[in-house]
Amino acid sequence: MSPQEANRPRVGVVKLASCDGCQLTLLDLEDQLLPIAQRFELVEFPEATSRRSAGPYDVLLVEGSVSTPQQAEEIVHLRSRTQLLVTIGACATAGGIQALRNWADEPSWRAAVYPTPEYVGSLATSTPVSEHVQVDAELRGCPIDPGQLLELLTALRIGRRPQLSGESVCLECKRRGNVCVLVAGGQPCMGPLTQAGCGAICPAYGRACYACFGPREQANTESLHRWFGQERELIQVDRLFAGFNAWAPPFREPAGRAVAAAHPGEGADAPDR
């Protein structure tokens, strides 16, 4: 091994409760994969290599939300063995779609789904990694954007701050030349509230943004909620927030109402933790 290779940062990629899509984004960087592997030592990445390592890690990419007692313990151990912990994807940054159960009566749902629910060890809530340990950086999205992942790795290598803007999807739409599906199409597009990073891919195909990158800084959810509510029923507007980032604080209240409406009798308030 050359000295250059020996000095590569040790990178781990792990998952908690998730679909794996965000990890696969790293593999989707096809052309860049070899240069990345030459510059970063992938010591733990079960999707891609049989090589295993329990740490220490210079960089750990964590996908998935904390959904089981084992994961709650594991993330603490991982944090203690990691220099830089980066959460990737809506599950890890906001709790994911599975966080819809946070408002529900989890044991009764479990019993409804599984024949022997006592075999399933599940927490009442699905929560983002940041509610358990200190997170150093995050990549939003469902899944994350390959370009942003590459920017993160490049920034790590060069030592610059990663250029990940908290601007709205609207800027990406306008730079791309998309016609606004909200203003011209009347669709309930979440773009103005959503953090950019995807390149405004959905509106580019005439489909309203559904906020898979989660709320941006200072997202003014009340204002857009009011605007959408002028021509729609409250429940329809609330449902827009009950997606992959439902548990993110700016979206939580309308998301909770949407869940409550779907499951009358179960509280719309966030459970005590």
Positions touching other proteins (CB under 8 A) are: 32, 35-36, 39, 84, 136-137, 150, 153-155, 157-163, 165-168, 170-171, 174-180, 182-186, 189, 191-193, 206, 217-220, 222-224, 226-227
What CA–CA distance (Å, rounded) separates 142 from 197?
11
Q: Are 215 and 195 in contact (CB under 8 A)?
A: yes
Q: Which C-beta is closer to other proteins: that of 102 or that of 245?
A: 245
**How far apart (Å, rounded) are the C-alpha atoms in residues 16 and 225?**
32
Nearer residue to other proteins within complex by CB, 206 or 271: 206
Residue of 130, 43, 138 lying closest to 81 (CA atoms):
43
Q: Decide whether 127 or 178 has the Cβ nearer to other proteins.
A: 178
Least distance in Å: CB of 183 to other proteins?
Answer: 5
Cβ contact 202:210 at 8 Å? yes
- What is the smallest separation between the CB atom of 156 and other proteins, expressed in angstroms? 8
For the bound state, the minimum distance from the C-beta of residue 163 to other proteins, rounded and expressed in Å, comes to: 5
**C-beta closer to other proteins: residue 123 or 193:** 193
Q: How far is the CB of 251 from other proteins (least distance, A)?
A: 14
- CB closer to other proteins, 19 vs 84: 84
3-class SS of residue 35: helix
Residue 185 CB, nearest approach to other proteins (Å): 6
Q: What HEC string does 174-202 produce?
A: HHHCCCCCCCCCCCCCCHHHEECCCCCHH
User: Bridge-partner residues for 15, per DSSP?
Assistant: 63
CA–CA separation, 27 and 48 (whole Å): 8
